[in-house]
Amino acid sequence: MTTLYIYERKFIKILIIFLLFHHVVNSMESSIEMQNDSVHSLNPINFRELINILGQDSMKGRPTDGRIGNKAAMVIAERLADYGILPGLNGSYFQNIPLHEISVLPESEFKIVCNDTYDFELSEDYIVSSTGMMSYLPRPLDIVFAGFGIFAPEFDYNDYQNIDVSGKVVVLLNGEPFSEELEYFNGIYPTIYSNFQTKAKQALARGAKACIILLSEKDLRFKPWANMLLEYSLPEMTLAQTASDILTIIMPFDKANHIIDYMGVIVDQNEFGFTEFVDNNLSKASFTFKGKYADKTFLAPNVVGFIKGRGENVKDEYLLLSAHYDHLGIGIPVDGDSIYNGVLDNAMGVSALLELSRMLNLFADNLNRNIIIVFTTAEERGLLGSIYYAQNPIVPLYKTIANLNIDGIAFIDNFNSIFGVGADFSELQDIIIKVTESNNLYLEELPFELSKVGAFNRSDQTIFAQAGIPSMLVMEGTDYANVSHEFGFYRLYDYMVNVYHSPFDDLNYMINYDAAMQHVDFLLNLSIELINLEIIPEWYEGSPYEIERLRTRAERR
């Protein structure tokens, strides 16, 4: 981490504190005035009470562990029952999911042999992104360098074109080819090809036994090694029955540069990361990994409720509303706090969905479709709850007209604009525009940086979309009622840099509950609009999810 980078962060943090002080004064004067009549129909006391229950330390961060985390599931099920919402599974609210958890133990042995033998220590030198279901590779395997490990035909790019990696270990550079042109790998913004998982799948598809992904200096400035250790401190988790993956090791470039030199690879990097490489194929190196593991299998539940529409023209179709209730549990202490409470992510979203469900159940006499409400588990562990639901749906996928996923609720200020993340894939875009206009709001275009980073792919809505269901995540926009765009940016920056996935996402973090209730009210109006549509939304032609929708209809699945 450079000295300049440290000073930049300190300056921004001081600026955030200064702006927060002024915001509190202004917000106290205007918050009451900003509530409209429709917000009053919601119950902000219910909303805050449940956030306080789910976010308290006694919940231990709502881990997906088959034990402590189930306490939150019980609270949600009790609320659904109190609100008169029917259980979704033959008298039960719980869709139990068999999960498998794997911990890599420090005594695992990782060696690379070239001109010398190099031993690497877990956490100090490397982390394991995926165990490949407890890989044990004691016999030396040849190491092959494959650039960025990308096959992207739309950009006429293939790192594997002249390389045979079958039965070998692939060394890859993190990121993707350097570009300043949006038409080529989206310029300086990352595409899906920069994901660890995408690189690992490309290597697995070509028969590789393992892959090692090297981090650039830029990667470690953006996310220091200590933060990487925090992110990967939890055990690997998968569905108990899942396709095998590939052993994927992540390590800083400087831990392997002597091996790269020995192999005759020359790598250049700049402020944006790795830029160019040349592979001279000078010498071979070999790899062994004697993995030692601890593992367990257990059950954790999705919580599922059902609201039957009772309008005059009820159809045998369903709106799917979802929010994940899990978080990260107890982890590495930060400033003496080891409980990762997950208040914004996603106790607020769960509370919003419960309040939304309560209101929809009250309106059921005017609803012409049914509603499935799913509180997913293990979202933080790889979207596993939504994956399981998509494989084992409570109602047929082809009868599920749309999904509204809730992952985060407005916390900065009342807003004049909305983001419909993923709406532009389908006719949901027309519907959300109609509802924003009727609520005196407007649909703001998602910033290019967010859309190309993959905002749509970071929560459960992407899994429901892959199952063929038109899906979106609704976020508040950046046109605020009482504060500037710059202030909102600094609050978001503060949250993402200093709070997100840390013990500081707790009940002490400042939340504008007026803004939160405005967000819930908008979701209520949007849900009612979807439930009473004459014609259901379809994917736009050419959408990557269109074919799956056609398939589920043809199979009546």
pLDDT tens digits for the chain (557 residues)? 333 333 344 444 444 444 444 443 343 333 334 334 443 478 999 999 999 999 999 999 999 999 998 999 999 999 999 999 999 999 999 999 999 999 999 999 999 999 899 999 999 999 999 999 899 999 999 999 999 999 999 999 999 998 999 999 999 999 999 888 888 988 887 888 988 999 999 999 999 999 999 999 999 998 899 989 988 989 999 998 877 789 999 999 999 999 999 999 999 998 889 998 999 887 889 999 999 999 999 999 999 999 999 998 899 999 999 999 999 999 989 999 999 999 999 999 999 999 999 999 999 999 999 999 999 999 999 999 999 999 999 999 999 999 999 999 999 999 999 999 999 999 999 999 999 999 999 999 987 666 655 678 889 999 999 999 999 999 999 999 999 999 998 998 899 889 999 999 999 999 999 999 999 999 999 999 999 999 999 999 989 899 999 999 999 99
Domains of the chain listed by start with CATH number: 3-100+296-555 (3.40.630.10), 106-291 (3.50.30.30)
Among all chains, which residue has been given the structure tokens 């921004």? Answer: 12
Question: Which two three-digit tokens encode residue 123?
Answer: 């956490």
Eight-state DSSP code of residue 88: S
Q: Give the DSSP per-residue string, 517-547.
A: HHHHHHHHHHHHHHHT-SS---BPTT-TTHH
Rounded distance, CA 126 to CA 149, Å? Answer: 19
For residue 54, which phi and psi values (nearest 5 degrees)? Answer: -70, -25
pLDDT at residue 223, rounded to an integer: 87
Ordered alpha helix ranges (H), 35-148: 37-40, 44-55, 70-82
Nearest to 473 by CA among 307, 367, 301, 321: 321
Give pLDDT, residue 449.
60
Enter the tokens of residue 195.
């994901």
Q: Is 177 helix (H, G, I), strand (E, B) or coil?
A: coil
CA 299 to chain centre: 22
DSSP-derived 3-state class of residue 10: helix
d(CA 413, CA 71): 32
Measured distance CA(277)–CA(172) in Å, rounded:
11
Rounded to whole angstroms, the Cα distance separating 162 from 230 reads 37
pTM of the model as a whole:
0.87
Q: Write down the pLDDT at residue 379.
A: 97
> What is the reported pLDDT for 188?
80
Report the run of H or E that residue 325 belongs to, with start and end.
Answer: none
DSSP secondary structure letter of residue 57: G
Residues 6+ apart with CB under 8 A from 259: 112, 114, 118, 143, 171, 285
Query: Which H helix or E strand runs over 286?
Result: strand 286-290
